[in-house]
Each structure stands twice: as structure tokens, then as C-alpha cells.
Amino acid sequence: MTRNPPRSSHTGRIAAGKGVPFSASPVLKVKLPVWRSRVVLFAMFAAFLALIVRALWLQGISTDFLQKQGASRYARTLELPATRGKITDRNGQVLASSVPVKAIWAIPDDVKDAPKEKLQALAKLLDMSSAELNKKLDSDRNFVYLKRQVEQDISDQIVKLGIDGIETRKEYKRFYPEGEVAAHVVGFTNVEDAGQDGMELSQQKNLAGATGSRRVIKDRLGRIVEDIEAVKEPHDGKDLVLSIDSKIQYIAFTQLKEAVEKFKAKAGGIVVVDAKSGEVLALANLPSYNPNDRSVLTGAQLRNRVMTDTFEPGSTLKPFTVALALDTNRVQATTTFQVPDKMTIGTATVGDSHPHPVQTMSVAQIIQKSSNIGTAKIALQMPAEEMWEMFTTVGLGQQPKFGFPGAVAGRVRPFKSWRPIEQATMSYGHGISVSLIQMAHAYTIFARNGDLIPLSFQKVTEPPVGQRVVSEKTALTMRAMLERVTAPGGTAPKAQVPGYRVGGKTGTAYKIEGGKYVKKYIADFVGFAPASDPRLIIAVMVDEPTVGSHFGGDVAAPVFATVAANALRALNVPPDSSVTDIIIPADGPQEGL
């Protein structure tokens, strides 16, 4: 009998194991929803799609932007400053020039680890405390200015300190050789080398030129390692030649300063004009300032009073009223008027500055003695419109076109609103406001035989074209009258100049504060020389003289005389008089207020 061999127990276990599925265990069996695997598959597909789109965006559409961002980390555009043009006087003497200096700047993150002793030395060179320096360096910016316009020798010492993150940049600083003497004409620039006042501001576009630029590659420490390209070449500014004569400017400034100090005045102004060309040869104000050091600059120092301050001209306006009457044949120089010391017009009373009995005065004497009553009587013979036209034609109440910033128009009210009393007071310079340069400009009609020419602060190369205002006969007659004002018996004998005939008119007017007249005065004088053929027109104004006299004949006329004498000699103008001794009466008459 054949017997089957016995079955191994191990083989049985293997067979049994193969027949049992993994999920047969109730513990291990997991049932997953069908949608879950699909969601996971979709999410993975979306993620890969997003990566593909982002790659296309970065490598395709945004290529230019990313390249620019990368270049900004190492490429820089450096500004190439243009040299600002020089300003010179009419004879070539430099009034303003640019001096190369350095701007000191820092990369704060690179400076933080610098040795303390080096930072202390840097602060000392920059003329600041360590606390101030640390405050500037405590910044999250990549670039901070530590100080602008540092002198070259100081900059060299800073570079020698070898502090990482401290850099220099070339720039320019203006230097003004004449200092306070020509400050109000030339003006000044700011730290960016842009004009802020005077001719620096007026001619900013021509003086500044155009800055250039170039592209470079810098390393992490800010050092230039490669030039890429010159983007734009710099173009230096143009030089400016002013009409100012430095010699006459100095004379005018020093004489005005003496007068302001002598009479303890609040301020003063003077302007000198070439009657032949209309060029302004000098313009000065007090108080003044040094444009090279503006650390303590005040508003009073900045004010260009010749151009921006208006005042009632007083008696200096009388010649225009009389010239109109002469030109319209209403009066002659010999026409006489009965002149009392007071006159009632409507409900108001006007008067001369000093009481006097009724006098018979010719028109010439009315100007010589500066009678308010006489001038008012002449004015009331004429229509208000004609007076208004005379005043506005010579530039009063009109916006000046001198090419100078800040020049004011003054005020001449419309003639339709004038009452008789207002017409009378305006005839002798009250109720009207002007600037000193407007008065100097207006007097050219007397110095130039009746025509008005424009004024210029730049050197003139061609003769100006004048505008006829009054006839030559009227101008010559007025010139003769104004010459009598400076002779013995006139209101301004102190305006006389040895060797030269001169003419002019004094003015004294109350100041207005809060809409009311106060007992403070403006003393002024406007004149010309030599009277035979005027070359110069000089206008002087002294604001609030407080010591001694307050009359224009005593305060302003002597300034005119000294400036005229020196300026005429500086210009080699031949004398037109053999008289060398000045005759001044002990108690000369004063002009009317």
C-alpha cells in the first residue's frame, strides 16, 4: 500500500499566508472616497501649471524689469555738474564765481562698524558734535548727506581717515568778492547752486547751464569699477556781464552807510543810472548782508529796498506836475501865483512846511522853494486824467520791466476817483506810492530832453530807443528850474558838486503806519549831473533819520553830492562849471512836506 508522505507544518503556514489578503483584517481595512485622489491629483497639476506660468513670466514678459532691478544693485547714474557762469561788472571785475567743493555723504550700514576714534575725528572735521553725526548715521536709508559744500582741504583730510562708507561728491560753491557792497544786485545761490535772489535768480537759466550724466558700475563699497557710457555731456552756464561799475558801487554803498549811521536811520537806499544808456551803474541798500556767510541772515538785511519798498515821494514828484503844466502851455516858468502858507480845498486844509506871509511866486520859484500850495494851485488848473497819464507814462504805478526779481509797481489810484483835495496832495507827492528806482527812472525825461528810456541791469551795447513824454523845450526848462534848487536860495544847496552844475529835487514825507500818518520821515533826493549835459541820475532815500535833521536837503542831498563828484571823475566826465566853492546858506529854506 502506497502511503502519502506527511505534510510539513511550515509549508502549510506559507500556503495559508498566501491566501489571506492585506485588507482582510478589519483593523487595517480603510475605505477612501474616490474624489479624494482626484482632488490631490488636480492640486498637483495646478501647482506645476503655476510654476510653469511663473517661469514664463519671469523669463519672458518681466525680463526688462528684472534686468533693471539687477542693474540697480551695481549700476549707477552719476550726475556731472555744470560750472555756473561767472557774474562780472561792466569792466570785467568778477562779482560772483564758482569754487569747486565737495559734498560728504555716507552709506550708514557700512559706517556703523567704523572705529569710534575715526568717527570722532570725522565729526570734528565736519564741524559738528559726535551726537549730531551719529543722528545722521542712524538711518535706514542707503544714502545720507553729512555736509554740503565742504572745502577741498577738509575733504582731503576726511578721505585720509579711510572710513568705509564715507564718500565725496564734487559740487560748486559761489564766492562773492564784493561781499555786502553788491549783495542786493548780485544776489546769492542755495546749497544746490540755484539762484535765490538778485541777478543770480533773475538769470538762473542762463547762469546754471545744464548738468550731464554718465553710467558706471560700482562694487559693494561704492567704488567705480567700470564706465558704461556717457549719457549726457554737461554744458557750463554762460557768463553774465552786468551794467554795474564796481568803483561807483563801492562809492555809493560807503556814502549811504555813512549817512545812515550819521543820522541813526532805520535804513537807506541809493541807485545810480547812466542817463545816456539807461544802465544801472550802482544799487545799494542798508542794512545789507555778506552773501559768503548767511548764517545770521535776517529779513531786514535781505530786503532790496530800492526795488521793493514803496513810499510817498513827497516833493520829488512836483517837477512832473509842473512839467505837465508847461508842456500843455498852461503856465510858463515866469507865470506867477499868490502863495499863502495855507489853503483850504473843500473841507481840508493844506499848507507849506513853514509859515510865511502871502507871497507872489513864479513857477520857477515854486519849484526852487518847494511850495506845496503853489504846486497845488498849478495842479488844480489841469484835468485829473492828464496828471494820471503823466504819472503812469513815466512808470509810476506800473509794474517795472527791469529784468529784476521783486520790483514793485507802487500805487497811483485811478483818476476817476480823485477828489480836488486828492489831486492837490498828489501833485506834491502825497497819496501816491513809488519805489526809489521808479523815481530815478522817471527823472530820465529831464536828463534826456524829454524822452524816457528803459533801465537795464546788464551791459548795453546799443543805444536805447526812447519814448517821448514831454517836449525838449519843457525838459530844458525843467532842468534849469531843478538846477536852481541846488543853488543858494534853493532847498538843496548841499547837493552842489565843485566843478559841475547839478540839478535835482528834495523830498520829505511822513510815513504811513496802520493807515495813518505818523511822525516818522522818509528823506529823499533825486538829481542829475552835469546839468549842461546829464550823464548820471542819482536817487537817494534815507528811512527814518532820528538824529539831526529829517529833511531831504540835509540828509539825502549830501550823499548825492559826494557820490556824483566821485562817479563823474571815475567816468572821466569833464567839468561844466568854473565854480569850485560850494555856497551853503546858514539857514537855507526847507522843502514842503
Active site residues: 315
Angle at 191 between CA 187 and CA 195, to 5 degrees: 30
99 and 175 Cβ atoms separated by less than 8 Å: yes
CA of 461: how far to CAs of 206, 278, 279, 402, in Å?
Answer: 19, 11, 10, 16
Find the radius of gyration of the CA atoms of the chain.
42
- DSSP class of 14: H
CA of 297: how far to CAs of 51, 123, 274, 329, 570, in Å?
Answer: 64, 25, 32, 53, 33
Nearest residue to 550 (alpha-carbon basis) of 527, 581, 518: 518
Q: Find the helix or strand (DSSP H, E) in which 437 lies.
A: helix 436-442
Rounded to 10 degrees, the C-alpha dihedral 523/413/466/501 comes to: -20
The whole-angstrom separation of Cα 88 and Cα 241 is 5
The whole-angstrom separation of Cα 306 and Cα 244 is 15
Over the range 415-429, which residues count as b (16 or more CB within 10 Å of their CB) and which as e? beebeebbbbbbbbb
Rounded to 10 degrees, the C-alpha dihedral 314/318/320/322 comes to: 170
> Which cell goes with 9?
507544518
Rounded to 10 degrees, the C-alpha dihedral 545/550/556/561 comes to: -120
Which residues face 169 on adjacent strands?
Answer: 103
